[in-house]
Amino acid sequence: MRFFQVKPAIYYGEDSLKRVQEGNYKNVCIATDQGMVKFGILKMLTDLLDEKGISYHVFSDIESDPSTDIVEKGLMHIIMNKPDALIAIGGGSVIDAAKAIIFYCVNFKRILFEDRFVHKPEFIAIPTTAGTGSEVTEYAVITDKKNNTKIPLTDILMMPDTAILDPKLIESVPPRATAATGMDVLTHAIEAFISTNNNPFSRCYASKATELVFKSLYESYENGSNLTAKSSMQIASCMAGIAFNSAGLGITHSIAHAVGASFHLPHGLANAIVLPYVIKFNGQNGRVEHLYQRLLSAAGILNVSGDATETMYNSVVALSQSLNIPACLKDAGVTEEAYLADREAMLQKAMADVCTTTNPQTVDYEAMKKVMDQAYYGL
């Protein structure tokens, strides 16, 4: 027996942000970061709340790669203010932090009270990038800065109740961020499609997400005011998130998590750099070659050579080049000295990463080392 669930109510399209005015709540906590405050994105939300007379408290201390310390601060904020709803507005880091805050808030209450007395605030996720798909997953990644490691969390408690995808919120995202987060979407889709836990539902969402990325990412990157392309990428991100929430991922993410922790590269950029090398590695598996062929067909990409792995690799590399993504970690500014110094620790982290467990091609230490070296040197 297997299980598949799509929990969040998803509101999308222009002006979908107005959905926040329809909730049955009087007091909300807003989790966000200083960028949302600085660029006026937060004000778009608070203006709507003000119109309806909904009171709110803002926790805006969340940073990129949210730490356990930030989560603790957010937890105290939500416990003190006792909101009817928690609204997370921002990128994947903000939504991940909000998930962790919800997770620890509910479990803290369960220590003190019986479950029937534990109230979970309504959780609304409003992504301001088209990349992580965090608004529709039960996963979060928090950073333990003391030990320089990523802590993956997973629990149905962290699944948002509502996701809002308003393209106006991502209109001003810089091209470089659009490129990196968009390639993150593609990585989610490809890895979910070929994962050992893939299923008919996840393949459906992953294949459509792949099609939308190849169709809309470059236009979204080149023309930030194209809200049709932006909306398409939001939907792709959401669909890819639904897919990998069910199917899992692969070693692109395992390596990206390790590299990101060591060198503080944006997660989407790390994924974008590593993905082509993992595509070739996994393509050694006959089942994966077959799945690549199906995914290419669904995305409308003609496999002229008859070698689906090669076509998938070339298609992804061509898209990355058009977005000015570095070809390897070395080109991204990671020095060889630093890479070699951290390689062993990164390999150990990548091998232990949960994403490695659902990679379709069997991977051992030497295979992981070879792929990581290829991703660094561009071999």
Domains of the chain, residue spans: 9-170, 175-377
With a cut of 80, say whether residue 148 has pLDDT above it: no
> Per residue, what are the HEC states of 69-96?
HHHHHHHHHHHHHCCCEEEEEECHHHHH
| 331 — pLDDT class (breaks 50, 70, 90) | very high
> Per residue, what are the HEC states of 125-156?
EEECCCCCCHHHCCEEEEEECCCCEEEEEECH
Contacts of 366 (CB under 8 A, 6+ apart): none
* Alpha carbon distances (Å) from 121 to 25, 26, 136: 10, 12, 17
Across the chain, mean pLDDT equals 93
In angstroms, the CA 14 to CA 39 distance is: 19
**pLDDT score of 3:** 82
With a cut of 90, say whether residue 209 has pLDDT above it: yes
Tokens at residue 191, please? 């890895």
Q: pTM of this prediction?
A: 0.92
306: left (phi over 0), alpha (psi -120 to 50) or beta: left
Could you tell me which CATH number the domain at 9-170 has?
Answer: 3.40.50.1970
**pLDDT score of 201:** 96
65: left (phi over 0), alpha (psi -120 to 50) or beta: left
Q: Do domains 9-170 and 175-377 have the same CATH topology?
A: no
In angstroms, the CA 4 to CA 136 distance is: 13
With a cut of 80, say whether residue 147 has pLDDT above it: no
With a cut of 80, say whether residue 168 has pLDDT above it: yes
Do residues 308 and 293 touch, judged by C-beta distance below 8 A? yes
How does pLDDT run across 63-112, given as a tens digit for each residue?
888 888 899 999 888 888 889 999 999 998 999 999 999 998 888 777 77
**pLDDT score of 370:** 97
**pLDDT score of 142:** 85
**Tokens 């660094």, located at residue:** 376
Lowest mean pLDDT among 75-79, 187-191, 236-240: 75-79
Exposed, middle or buried: residue 151 (CB in 10 Å: 0-12, 13-18, 19+)?
middle
How does pLDDT run across 99-144, given as a tens digit for each residue?
999 998 888 777 777 777 778 889 999 999 998 899 999 988 888 7
Over pLDDT 90: what percentage of the chain? 79
**pLDDT score of 365:** 96
| Amino acid type, 236 | A
Dihedral sign computed on CA atoms, order 166, 172, 176, 177 = negative
**pLDDT score of 151:** 79
How does pLDDT run across 252-290, given as a tens digit for each residue?
999 999 999 899 899 999 999 999 999 999 999 999 999
**pLDDT score of 77:** 87
Helix (H) or strand (E) holding 98: helix 92-112
How does pLDDT run across 41-62, given as a tens digit for each residue?
999 999 999 999 999 999 999 9
Q: Mean pLDDT over residues 231-246, rounded?
A: 96
Counting Cα atoms < 13 Å in the Cβ hemisphere of 85 gives: 25
Do residues 94 and 46 touch, judged by C-beta distance below 8 A? no
Can you name the residues that pair with 165 across neighbouring β-strands?
12
Domain spanning 175-377, CATH architecture: Up-down Bundle (1.20)
